[in-house]
Structure 1
Amino acid sequence: MKFLSTFIFTLLSVGLAHAQTQKLDSLNRLLSQTTTDTGRINISNEKIVLFNQINIDSAMSLGLKTIEQAKRIQYKKGEARTRIRLAYTYSVKGDFAAAKSTLKLAEAICLSTKDSAQLSKVYGAFGTTYAIQSKYDSSIIFQEKSKAIAERLDDKAQLIIVYSNLGISYDMQSNRPQALQYQQKSLTIAESVHNTKQQAYALVNIANIYTEMGDLKGSEQAYQKGIRLAKQESLTNVELYAYSNLVSIYTKMHDTQKAYEMAIKAATLAKEIGDTGIQATALSQAAINLALQKKFDQAEPLVKQAMTIADASHLPLNIHQAYAAMGSILKQQARCAEAIPFYEKSFAVLKDADLYNAQTGDSYRDLSACYEQVGNYRRALATFKTSAAISDSVRGKENVQKATELTMTYKFDQQQQAAQAEQLKQNALAQARQLALLAGMGLMLVLAAVSFYAYRTKQKANALLQEQKEVLQLQKEELLRQKEELQQQKEELQHTLTKLQTTQTQLIQSEKMASLGELTAGIAHEIQNPLNFVNNFSAISTDLLNEIKEERKKKEERDEELEEEILGDLTGNLAKINHHGGRAASIVKSMLEHSRTSTGEKQLVDLNALTDEYFRLAFHGLKAKNPDFSCDLVTDFDLSLTKYEVIPQELGRVLLNLFNNAFYAVRQKQQTGVADYQPRVTLSTAQRGKQVEIRVRDNGTGIPQPVLSKIFQPFFTTKPTGQGTGLGLSLSYDIITKGHSGTLTATTQPGEFAEFVITLPLA
């Protein structure tokens, strides 16, 4: 059971309880000193903002009273502002009909007074009201209306809010690129106007998106920065949501005890400020982490408390999460029949919501498993299809890739802006030096002229001096022009170098991600086999346990020999489950090591096992994309090899690249229709004196001799456009020669074979 990240819909900013109390005392003093009715209404509106986080009932009471006062003195602007704040109060209480009703009255007032700025805030409040109901399509419609007005008025304060809220709505629909783009816009404007509070809001929301993209490190950094700014500005709600979302990170890291502690801390803070929705969600998170620790007797009362609070909040998303949590806890105990009603209730409250996310897909999958367990196969199949459709939509490679590109572009723009600012500073200093130099030279020329004039030299000498001055001036102007040209050339070269370095870094990362994708396809095939064993032996063990339970119910005719035999079988099954589970864990560990950034540290590695593993994974990766592909895999390992010191992640990338190239070559030759052709790739290892040798040979298309001398050059590729970056062999060459002090060579006969040889020196 996973939980949605908790986003902060920006409408009202509040601080810590004691800071709120201090501000409330200050507002009460101002209220007593204010002599105008409009002034008192404006101060009351500020009090409503504070009450919305201290005491919701007090906020509602003061809001209704302030509206009556504004209507009595016909203060339209004050009435509209109060209705916007009161709508937020109604939404938090779950009275959405009242929220929409009061916003319609505010809209009518703004249209009659032609107050475009206030109308933008009304539409933004409409969007927030729909978002709290999880109706994100409707929310986006109203937020777009607000955005159009705010952009026309260049209202930066409102744009910070509306961009952030649009980002949340798009994220809840799993449109990560659009969500990240709007959150980054909000953060950029907040930084430009030095609005620390809104920076904290945007950072927490961006951290949520990073979490959903799987960037836990980037997410944690953004959360910590957001918390630091929140504490600086006394923003309790930002701290609360950051702590609540950190629960998800610790859960993914399998630190369930720390996740539980953070969830309880978030629930306590939520209760203090009266946010029942997040209180229910935090309690549900705490219960789930207790269940993951098998503490079901503590988890069930906690999730029941969460359901009660969620029902009272009338917030669909929080009700969905609480009931789905109860279903998950019951399912973990194999109480599927009891879990089904809770899952069904959790989805019933979302029937009108526009929610498309991975967590909802996971809950549908769990419900499908429960239906299957109780024998309702028709509903199990229908529910599983819904889960698969959501998962395919949410986890699409293009969605994550676009969001990742936006993140990289945003960070690159930030670096460029800083570099441009530094360059402008340096240009200003250089210009100041040049002006000082020109002034000094001018002064010298004036003094020289005065001196010559004072001595009253001959007319011919004066003419000669004037001529020399003109020559010097021309030389000086020429020198300045050459200096400017050199400076301009330097700047252009520096700019070109920066672009090339950035492009190279991006292409290298793209190559690494491509190899990771190919490796993942092979791992999916490899891990299926041990998982099938685990599932089969688990099912057999369950039957054996039921059999021994039946035998022990017999009081007089118990067959103790049979019981011992069954216990022996169970012990054997558990050993097999542990063995195959270890196999699966080893495969996953290998994938993680491949995807992890290399530390550059060498480790003792069994080269035969390492090369054989990547050989099979590369083949299964290609097989997954091209099911009709077949190839003979031939290995010839030197069994006398011991463990050698290498950098396993980097050597794995080299091997994966060589294997992929070999399979590509034999497949290309197979597609040409050569008669009686059987693709074959051979892998061999051997120790030659003080060196270890790894050979990869294929009987594919070979490499043309004119091309052979260029294959290790960066960006050179023989593959069609779009199928290769030209960096694979270049990176492999650098890894072997620079990272391992070895050699990488190639021999070939066009149309017959190609062979790559890696030699590594012994330590």
Structure 2
Amino acid sequence: MKYWLLPFYLLFGYSFTLAQSPKIDSLNRLISRASSDTARINLITKKISLVSEINIDSALALSLKTIESAHRVNYPSGEAFARVLAAQNYNYKGQYAASRTHLDVAQKIYKALNDPRKLIKVYNTYGTLYGMQSKYDSSIAFFEKSAALAKRHNDKVVLATIYTNIGISYQMLSNLPRALEYQQLSLTTAEANGDRTTQAYCLVNMANTYKLMADNKGAEQRYLQAIRLAKLEGIKNVELYAYTNLSAMYSQDSTSQKTYEFALKAARLAHQMGDPGIEATSLSRAASYLATVKRYKEAEAVNKQALSLADASGQPLNIHQTYSAMGTILKMQGKCASAIPFYEKSFAALKDADIYDEQTGVIYGELSACYEATGQYRQALSAYKTAAAISDSIRGKENVRKATELKMTYEFDKQQQIAQAQHQKQSELARTRQLALLAGMGLLLVVAAVSFYAYRTKQKANVSLEKQKQELEQTLTQLRLTQQQLIQSEKMASLGELTAGIAHEIQNPLNFVNNFSEVSTELIEELKEGPFQQVPDSEKEYAAEILGDLTQNLQKINHHGKRADSIVKGMLEHSRTSTGERKPTDLNALAEEYLKLAYHGLRAKDKSFNAQLVTDFDPNLKKTEVMAQDLGRVLLNLYNNAFYAVQEKQKTAPESYQPTVTVRTGQDQGQVRIQVQDNGTGMPENLKQKIFQPFFTTKPTGQGTGLGLSLSYDIITKGHSGRLDVETQPGEGTQMVVTLPA
């Protein structure tokens, strides 16, 4: 069976230092010589951060002891930080109630001390708490609160950590473009800070994103790079997660020995660190490999170890994986009756989790087959319907994700639009004045020469006046068009504000739908426990069936309400404006990342499409100050247009035609260039003049909004003071050139 990639949330304390015995020994010597209780507690909290990278149980025990010591000597700041560290370790143990208790107390202490900077680590740990329970919307909300505080205090080291965690949450919500944006931002920030530890954490999660994009080569490269950095820095937990996800990646080839080797290596490391959740999933993956090669007894024995460890971890995703793996192992042997209880318990673990992906639907399909094999046809039909419903939900989520990849928005910058129209109007007026001056000079010449060339001069004067008349009429027409464009721009800006307002208003009734469906479900459960017991036995079966249908209907209402809520959140997300924050960025890496993202996104939609990708990057290109997310939006739009052009040409071209998209970078005379060239359909000259106009598109109705190149032009020219040029030949291809100040 397949496995989910494990997300690796990055926790932080005062600093990320080498988790090696000499460091701990040095801290122990300093602790023994501490001049005061507060100094001793501060040193112990640093030691906890180191120990947690080696053994979670030891770090947790030391955290609890430090909380008592800090409380005894009346050192509230030290107590609060020790509680945050305890919560971090409880998260990895799967003891979420205990983690939340410590975080609530720490938050109250920091607020009482009026120390908002310390709340950064509290909110980050809250985000991890929800993320490890697969409640990713809540985790993003807390990570963003933490990021806002970090920006306010200019804490760039912590920001790199938070960006990684936000990227993980978007990754688990299948929003890969947003995930990759945040992960690239985290890696760039960590590289600028010289922080190799955060780079190692970030690379593991970036590798997960590449894996989900079906780029196994890119994923493996980053996993191995993370392992190399982890060994240099002595970070065992990074090494653990890299091995775990490598095993998951190799499991696509059911006979790959590497799956088994990496799984056992990860299980041993997890056992050393006291992480039962990862140890459970690693053993379960090893068991699945043994079943694939028909070593069933060994597979069942290994997976039984995984079951007990997963139960101890309390993490729903780990419990689901291990129990569904046991069900699959038994089903492979034809033991369907024995497999059913394991499948059922695996899905019970996901009751409160936000996980509806392809693999969930596959496992429901396996359960349906087992029900059918044992004659439980009603249950088989129900499980089959659930699998189909999940498949529909996945398609809906995928459609929303693809629709938002271009990051288009109808909220234009009104001031820039008005300024542009006024400038154009002034230019036309100046041109009119120049024409009038030329006309006057012409008339003077006519008067000076009238005695010599009376008749001829009269003819010339008439021609000149006719020409002036035509030019003035053209100028007036252009001014009217400019006025209409300004009015249209105002209308679209108002439409964007109206859309955002409607999205805000929709949120309130959606919240009521979701909340009341949950409350109604709880009331039905109370009804089952109370008045339902007084129903006559002859009516109980019928009443139970009605209550079951009501519960199922309410669950569907809640599920689809949450889907609608996610769509509204997506609308609000795309009404946000750019932060305008510029940072040094590797344009070669940025161009390559978004090229792969655009190509794999198109391939996911059309498996039959293939194109040759050619890159010619300047190895000496220096990092450039840009808004990386906005520039990434521009590149994604240019790549999508290029792929569309070659795909359209392929429909009518001979079989020898090879669709090709070429990306080049270079620099000269204080400028850098990014060139995107295709050998597609090209465009005639009359269309070339219009492509940067809002809402103008050459695509069929429903396939393009006409905003992509317009927004891209504004981002390059206004946001980066650069140029966006187009060179095209009908039937031969098109080249888009982005030019930026170096």
| TM-score for both structures, normalised by structure 1 | 0.55
Is the contact made by 1:358 and 1:395 (CA closer than 8 Å) also made in structure 2? no
Pair 1:379-2:389 in alignment: no
* 1:99 partnered with 2:99: yes
Match of 1:180 in 2: 180
Rate the CA distance shift 1:254–1:381 in 2: closer, same or farther, 3 A. Answer: closer
Counterpart for residue 206 of structure 1: 206
> How much has 1:263 moved relative to structure 2?
0.7
Aligned to 1:227: 227
Give me the CA root mean square deviation. Answer: 4.2
Q: Which amino acid aligns with 2:274?
A: G
Check 1:296–1:286 CA distance in 2 against 1; reply closer, same or farther (3 A cut): same
Task: Confirm whether residue 391 of structure 1 aligns to residue 397 of structure 2.
Answer: no
TM-aligned CA deviation for residue 248 of structure 1: 2.1
Over 3 Å counting, the alpha-carbon distance change for 1:270 and 1:177 in structure 2 is same
1:116 aligns with 116
CA distance in 1, matches of 2:73, 2:94: 31
Q: Tell me the distance in 2 between the aligned counterparts of 1:15 and 1:152.
A: 19
Q: How does 1:600-639 map to 2 (within 5 A)?
A: none
Q: Helix, strand or coil for the counterpart of 1:252?
A: coil
CA 1:86/1:69 → structure 2, altered by over 3 Å: closer, same or farther?
A: same
Contact 1:267 1:279 in 2 (8 A): yes
CA drift of 1:377 comes to 3.8
Structure 2 residue aligned with 1:158? 158
1:298 equivalent in structure 2: 298
Output the CA distance in 2 between the equivalents of 1:385 and 1:508: 31
Q: 1:84 to 1:507 in 2, by over 3 A?
A: closer
| Alignment check: 8 A CA contact 2:367 2:383 kept | yes
Deviations 1:506-562 (A, max 9, x none): 999979986996563xxxxxxxxxxxxxxxxxxxxxxxxxxxxxxxxxxxxxxxxxx
Distance in 2 between residues matched to 1:48 and 1:269, nearest whole Å: 19
Deviation of 1:212 after TM superposition, in Å, equals 0.8
**Residue in 1 aligned with 2:48?**
48
Given candidates 659, 683, 699, the residue that maps to 1:716 is: 683
> Relative to 1, partners in 2 of residues 1:114 and 1:722: Cα closer, same or farther, differing over 3 Å?
same
- How far off is 1:359 after superposition? 2.9
Deviation at 1:3, TM superposition (A): 1.2
Q: Distance in 1 between matches of 2:20 and 2:115?
A: 30
Shift of 1:122: 0.8
Contact 2:175 2:401 (8 Å CA) reproduced: no
Q: Give the 5 Å matches for 1:356-755.
A: 356-374=356-374, 375=377, 376-393=379-396, 395-396=398-399, 398-399=401-402, 402=405, 520=608, 660-661=651-652, 715-716=682-683, 721-723=698-700, 730=732
1:678-709 CA distance string (max 9 Å, x none): xxxxx9x9xxxxxxx99xxxxxxxxxxxxxxx
Task: Measure, in 2, the Cα distance between the counterparts of 1:278 and 1:39.
Answer: 35
Asked if structure 2 preserves the Cα contact closer than 8 Å seen for 1:227 and 1:242, the reply is: yes
Given the superposition, is the C-alpha separation of residues 32 and 340 from structure 1 closer, same or farther in structure 2, using an over 3 Å criterion?
Answer: same
Per the alignment, residue 68 of structure 1 pairs with: 68
What is the alpha-carbon distance in structure 2 between the residues aligned to residue 98 and residue 505 of structure 1?
Answer: 40
Return the alpha-carbon distance in structure 2 between the equivalents of residues 116 and 654 of structure 1: 52
- CA deviation string 1:478-522 (max 9, x = no partner): xxxxxxxxxxxxxxxxxxxxx9xx9999999979986996563xx
Q: Report what 2:313 is aligned to.
A: 313
Check whether the contact 2:19–2:233 (CA below 8 A) recurs between aligned residues. Answer: no
* TM-fit CA distance, 1:223: 1.3
Query: How do 1:138-157 and structure 2 match up within 5 A?
Result: 138-157=138-157
Q: Output the TM-score relative to the length of structure 2.
A: 0.56
Partner of 2:190: 190
Following superposition, the deviation at residue 395 of structure 1 comes to: 4.6
Which AA in structure 2 matches 1:386? Answer: A
Structure 1, unpaired ranges of 5+: 406-498, 521-590, 600-652, 663-682, 686-692, 695-711, 733-763
Q: Is the 8 A contact 1:76 1:109 kept in 2?
A: yes
Q: Tell me, in whole angstroms, the C-alpha distance in 1 between the residues paired with 2:132 and 2:592.
A: 44
Once the two structures are aligned, what percentage of the paired residues are identical? 44
Give, as a single letter, the amino acid of the residue that structure 2 aligns with 1:382.
K
Cα distance 1:267–1:390, how it changes in 2: closer, same or farther (>3 A)?
A: farther
Distance 1:179 1:728, change over 3 A: farther
Question: Aligned equivalents of 1:352 and 1:39: distance in 2?
Answer: 43
1:348–1:17: structure 2 CA closer, same or farther, 3 Å change rule? farther
Maintained 8 Å contact 2:19/2:235: no
Range that drifts further, 54-63 or 209-218? 54-63
Alignment partner, residue 340 of structure 2? 340
Q: Distance in 2 between matches of 1:267 and 1:179?
A: 28
Kept after mapping to 1: 8 A contact 2:284/2:303? yes
Residues 53 and 274 in structure 1, CA contact (< 8 A), matched pair in contact too: no
Q: Is this contact kept in 2: 1:370–1:380, CA < 8 A?
A: no
Question: 1:391/1:291 Cα in 2 relative to 1: closer, same or farther (>3 Å)?
Answer: farther
Question: What is the rounded CA distance, in whole Å, between the counterparts of 1:160 and 1:286 in structure 2?
Answer: 34
Q: How far apart in 1 are the matches of 2:79 and 2:35?
A: 19
**CA–CA distance in structure 1, aligned partners of residues 680 and 612 of structure 2:** 26
CA 1:731–1:220: 2 relative to 1, 3 Å: farther
Relative to 1, partners in 2 of residues 1:18 and 1:302: Cα closer, same or farther, differing over 3 Å?
A: farther
| Structure 2 gaps, min length 5 | 409-586, 616-643, 658-678, 688-696, 705-727, 735-742
Q: Are the counterparts in 2 of residues 361 and 391 from structure 1 also a CA contact under 8 Å?
A: no
Structure-1 separation of matches of 2:373 and 2:604: 36
CA 1:597/1:331 → structure 2, altered by over 3 Å: closer, same or farther?
Answer: farther
Give yes or no for contact 2:9–2:165 (8 Å, CA) kept in 1: yes
Q: Letter of the 1:380 partner, please give it.
A: A
Contact 1:368–1:380 (Cα < 8 Å) also in 2:
yes
In structure 2, what residue type is equivalent to 1:385? A
Change (3 A) 1:659 1:89: closer
Provide Cα deviations, 1:661-681, integer angstroms capped at 9, x if missing partner: 38xxxxxxxxxxxxxxxxxxx
Residue 358 of structure 1, CA deviation: 3.3
- Report the counterpart of residue 127 of structure 1 in structure 2: 127
Distance 2:596 2:77 in 1: 57
1:89 and 2:128 are equivalent in the alignment: no
1:743 aligns with: none
Contact 2:324 2:346 in 1 (8 A): yes
Are the counterparts in 2 of residues 284 and 302 from structure 1 also a CA contact under 8 Å? Answer: yes
Q: What is the alpha-carbon distance in structure 1 between the residues aligned to residue 593 and residue 203 of structure 2?
A: 26
Report the alpha carbon displacement of residue 126 of structure 1 after superposing the two structures with TM. 1.3
Number of equivalences: 469
CA contact under 8 A between 2:306 and 2:322: conserved in structure 1?
yes
| Alpha-carbon distance between aligned partners in 1 of 2:50 and 2:597, rounded to the nearest angstrom | 48
User: CA 1:163 to 1:515, structure 2 compared with 1: closer, same or farther past 3 Å?
Assistant: closer
Alpha-carbon displacement from aligned partner over 1:173-210 (angstroms, at most 9, x marks no partner): 22222222222221121111111100110011010011
Partner Cα distance (1:269, 1:227) in 2: 13
Alpha-carbon deviations, 1:377-405, whole Å to 9, x = none? 43133222233134314554954993999
Tell me the CA shift for residue 657 of structure 1. Answer: 6.9
Q: CA deviation at 1:296?
A: 1.8
Residue 87 of structure 1 deviates from its aligned partner by 0.9
Say whether the 8 Å CA contact 1:197–1:230 is kept in structure 2: yes
Alpha-carbon separation, structure 1, partners of 2:126 and 2:232: 30
Question: Residue type matched to 1:661 in 2?
Answer: T
Do the aligned partners of residues 342 and 361 (structure 1) sit closer, same or farther apart at CA in structure 2, a change above 3 Å counting? same
Q: Equivalents in 1 of 2:21, 2:332: separation in Å?
A: 45
- Tell whether the 8 Å contact from 1:131 to 1:139 is kept in structure 2 after alignment: yes
Structure 1 residues 197 and 55: alpha-carbon distance in aligned structure 2, compared to 1, 3 A threshold: closer
